Amino acid sequence: MRNDQRFEIERAFDLLPHIVGASWAVLWFRLNSIKKPTRQEFREKVIEYFNLLNPLFEIYPQTSDFSELSNYIKMRKNDEVEKIIQGKNLEVEKRYDRYVDYG
């Protein structure tokens, strides 16, 4: 896969976990009056909302022209979920800290 093809997907995966996953998770906790979720609870909720984007990740046709791109998207999505689970997505962790500190 060419770098210019990968670049746009990389930028999307740099942003989607915390822009979609963490933002929606914060709203869910706030609306349910849960001021101090555990980190694990927060990460699980982020993944739950991030996974709602699965139809977007699977939008390209399953043809040989798109197979490399589709495989990269699948791999990158799995990597992002693993980073969230392990607490290695620093933006998600920052959103958690901000929420529990300032609610």
CA–CA gap between residue 34 and residue 44 (Å, rounded): 14
Those residues whose C-beta lies under 8 Å from the C-beta of residue 72, and which sit 6 or more positions away, are 1, 6, 9
Q: For 63-95, how does the pLDDT look when each residue is reduced to its tens digit (9 = 90+)?
A: 999 999 999 999 999 999 999 999 999 999 999
Tell me the average pLDDT of the chain.
Answer: 95
Residue 29 CA to residue 64 CA, distance in Å, equals 42
Share of the chain above pLDDT 90, in %: 90
Prediction pTM value = 0.92
Q: CA-to-CA distance for 94 and 63, rounded, in angstroms? A: 39
Q: How far is CA 95 from the centre of its chain?
A: 12
**What pLDDT does 103 receive?**
72
Of 45, 58, 55, 59, nearest in space to 17 by CA: 45
Neighbours of 41 (CB within 10 A): 14
